[in-house]
Amino acid sequence: MKQQRRVVITGIGTINPLGNNVNDYFQNLENGVSGAGPITRFDATNFKSRIACEVKNYDWTEYFDRKEVRKYDLFAQYALVAAEQAVKDCAIDLATANRERIGVVWSSGVGGMQTFHDEVMGWAEGNGIPRFSPFFVPKMIPDLAAGHISIKYGFMGPNYSVVSACASSNNAMIDAFNLICWGKADMIVTGGSEAPIIIPSIGGFSSMQALSTRNDDPQHASRPFDLERDGFVIAEGAGALVFEEYEHAKARGAKIYCEVAGGGMSADAYHITAPHPEGKGAVISMRNALEDADLTIEDVDYLNAHGTSTPIGDLAEITAVQALFGDHAYKMNISSTKSMTGHLLGATAAVEALACVFAITHGVIPPTINVENLDPAIDKKLNLTLGKAQKREVNVAMSNTFGFGGHNSTIVFRKL
């Protein structure tokens, strides 16, 4: 039997509410900065939730010309910006690279919803006259972010999009990992992007009572594990990572951040939006990830929790963590970086994977901010990294993401 190929990370990039590049993002993670504020994209006066974690100081003219940008919904723009950073960071020589062996596996939970909204509203306001843009469908469908990245760089390897709600970019990264392990590609640009701060998203999530309504104090609204948490704060942006086969990376002298050790997936098979109250699917996902990585529970130093700041979701995840890890749950660090970034939906796992890279490469656990009164249902002896970052050597980091529909995905990273 052929030995499984190893996978490492050789390039990273991001644009998100804490920074429009990796360095700014890492600095704000360590400093416990909140990316939340009032919604500026539209007049949210009449909405229950009027806050979000928006990307700051984004000017599309810095990245695209006017003719080109007509083809891109904002979620695709974010994808291209983050991917450009990651491709540049990995320092691949595109002139000599075998681009048939380089792929793109990308994700988005909702894709071009702004485009869909604008086109339908234009039709309605035009008295039903069907004047739709020829870019309507290509801008809307989630797979076009992967397509645009491959077209830009001429990457002709596996190319597709993964959609599994808020688990999407973990699933995309796990697919990228497996494709390289199986010998289907040598490098894959992977991650996710989302641009959901728009009228239909805010209205829809608000009607589900999923969003925080702490409108008078947005920077403290995302408060995972706090007794007074009242929902997540929606966010936007993208995270990109270049996954590469280990020997291929070594042969070209690439900078290596860490190894992608394994991934696990499962389904709750329980409810369309609520997690299993005992966290059964989450346990299976984490256990499968550790088995795939050939690691034990005692090997995990840091868990980046899904930790959305929803009343039932946080408890279900903590229940799952304690059920799987037992006594070791008290020896590892746990944190929810969504307390700072907000919830990027389909892009959240990619941005949180970068937080794991940060923990491994810098020896710093990013904090869970805004916990003023820990929910008494959560064991206070757990190290939830409350308030400020903690120094710690991190050899193994795990990241959870769970999505509507009962989708669970967990990815594990390891220091080389």
Active site residues: 166, 306, 343
Q: What is the DSSP string of 248-285?
A: HHHHTT----EEEEEEEEEE--S-SSSPPTT-HHHHHH
| Phi/psi at 411 (5° precision) | -125, 150
**Cα–Cα distances in Å, from 261 out to 212, 288, 290, 320, 398?**
35, 12, 9, 21, 10
DSSP 224: T
| Phi/psi at 301 (5° precision) | -100, -35
- Give the Cα separation of 99 and 8 in Å (integer): 18
Contacts of 259 (CB under 8 A, 6+ apart): 6, 7, 8, 9, 246, 413, 414, 415, 416
| Phi/psi at 144 (5° precision) | -70, -20
CB contact at 8 A, 89 and 361: no
- Give the Cα separation of 332 and 301 in Å (integer): 5
In 23-94, at which residue ranges do the beta strands (DSSP E only) sit? Answer: 37-38, 51-52
Token readout for 155 is: 């990457």
In degrees, rounded to 5, the angle at the alpha carbon of residue 116 between the alpha carbons of residues 194 and 209 is 60
| Phi/psi at 355 (5° precision) | -65, -35
CA atoms 60, 64, 68, 72: torsion sign: negative
- Of residues 332, 340, 339, the one with CA closest to residue 397: 332
| Phi/psi at 320 (5° precision) | -65, -45
Per this entry, what is the length of the chain?
A: 416
- Of residues 89, 71, 383, the one with CA closest to residue 256: 89
CB contact at 8 A, 165 and 346: yes
- Give the Cα separation of 263 and 413 in Å (integer): 9
